[in-house]
């Protein structure tokens, strides 16, 4: 496909999302949302008002990339031994560390969050959906990587599992669909490499420069210096408010599908 067409479609999706600023409806939020911001234009909106279903990103079969080990200047966030670099909203991180060097989401324990905060960074993280996963759409292997605790790169089983395109794997949730879909099938490991530039703010709390993110999904470019509009919101429009460095949050989603696993997580400050 012509790159110009891809860029055009991406811009079109973001324009459609921006057009939602005029919409209205009502449903309660059921997942983590950054606190502290409010926007009267969002009041009364329903979740589906910010969910786009077309065009579908083309499916791409990823190449055979080797398991990645941390470079010498990286901060290792999880190397298979323990969760010392992580906490929960209530205390210690409660996810399960497995004998094979992976960790598995514990849905009862909630999200886990890095103890350290970050500004600009390069993040490497691997995740796998169980081979025998059940469920569909957003209820099938849902998790997420929150950048600075505010902006979600979606984790989801997007192998033959259709949902709104700005909510599939490697989307900037409800803001930007991935350029293509290189998701591996359940039971195989997926890899995200995320390069993130933190926002800057004016004195009144509005963005001077918005956050920008590039995402490689199994070695394939899926977010190309994407401008993040604002915070990730399940219902309503992205919000904003001045903030400094923030942690990485991994989402424990409330869906009823079998929990996913993570391994080999490291970060480099930029
Ligand atoms: Mg999610």
Question: How far is ligand 1, taken at its centre, from the CA of residue 61, in Å?
Answer: 23
Distance 154 CA to ligand 1 centre (A): 5
Rounded to whole angstroms, the Cα distance separating 196 from 121 reads 5
Mean pLDDT of 83-92: 96
From the CA of 204, how far away is ligand 1's center (Å)? 30
Q: Is the pLDDT of residue 100 over 60?
A: yes
Residues measured by CB to lie within 5 Å of ligand 1, the ion: 142, 144, 251
Residue 47 φ then ψ, to 5°? -55, -45
Express as a percent the part of the chain with pLDDT over 70.
84
How many angstroms separate the alpha carbon of residue 41 from the centre of ligand 1? 24
The CA 203 to ligand 1 mean position distance, Å, reads 31
Say yes or no to pLDDT of 6 above 50: no
Tell me: domain 75-269, CATH 3.40.50.150, correct? no
Q: Evaluate whether 86 touches 109 at the Cβ level (below 8 Å).
A: no
Tell me, in angstroms, the distance from the centre of ligand 1 to residue 135's CA: 14
User: Is the CB of residue 2 less than 8 Å from the CB of residue 179?
Assistant: no
Q: What's the predicted TM-score (pTM) here?
A: 0.83
How many A from CA of 107 to the centre of ligand 1?
13
Is the model more confident about 20 or about 269?
A: 269
How many whole angstroms from 92 Cα to the centroid of ligand 1?
21
Q: Rounded to the nearest whole angstrom, what is the distance from the C-alpha of residue 167 to the centroid of ligand 1?
A: 8
Is the pLDDT at 189 greater than 70? The verdict is: yes
pLDDT tens profile 33-75 = 666 666 777 788 899 998 999 888 998 887 666 667 888 899 9
pLDDT for residue 241 is more than 80: yes
Q: What are phi and psi of 223, to 5 degrees?
A: -130, 115
Q: Which of 20-29, 89-98, 145-154, 254-263 shows the lowest per-residue confidence on average (mean pLDDT)?
A: 20-29
The structural domains of the chain, with segments of one domain joined by +, span 3-50, 75-269
Ligand 1 centroid – CA 231 distance (Å): 13
């Amino acid at each position: 496909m012509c790159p110009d067409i891809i860029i055009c479609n991406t811009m079109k999706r973001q324009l459609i999302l921006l057009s939602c600023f005029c919409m209205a409806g009502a449903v309660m939020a059921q997942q983590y949302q950054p606190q502290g911001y409010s926007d009267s234009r969002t009041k009364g909106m329903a979740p589906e008002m910010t969910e786009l279903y077309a065009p579908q990103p083309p499916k791409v079969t990823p190449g055979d990339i080797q398991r990645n080990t941390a470079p010498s200047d990286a901060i290792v966030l999880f190397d298979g031994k323990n969760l010392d670099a992580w906490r929960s909203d209530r205390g210690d991180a409660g996810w399960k560390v497995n004998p094979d060097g992976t960790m598995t989401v514990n849905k009862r324990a909630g999200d886990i969050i890095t103890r350290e905060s970050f500004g600009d960074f390069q993040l490497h993280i691997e995740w796998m959906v169980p081979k025998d996963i059940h469920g569909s759409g957003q209820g099938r292997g849902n998790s997420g990587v929150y950048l600075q605790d505010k902006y979600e790169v979606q984790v989801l089983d997007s192998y033959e599992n259709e949902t709104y395109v700005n909510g599939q794997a490697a989307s900037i949730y409800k803001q930007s669909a991935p350029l293509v879909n290189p998701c591996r099938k359940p039971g195989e490991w997926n890899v995200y490499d995320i390069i993130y530039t933190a926002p800057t703010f004016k004195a009144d709390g509005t963005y001077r420069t918005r956050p920008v993110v590039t995402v490689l999904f199994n070695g394939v470019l899926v977010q190309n210096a994407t401008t993040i509009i604002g915070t990730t919101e399940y219902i309503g429009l992205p919000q904003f408010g001045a903030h400094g460095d923030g942690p990485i949050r991994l989402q424990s989603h409330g869906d009823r599908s079998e929990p996913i696993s993570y391994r080999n997580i490291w970060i480099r400050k930029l």
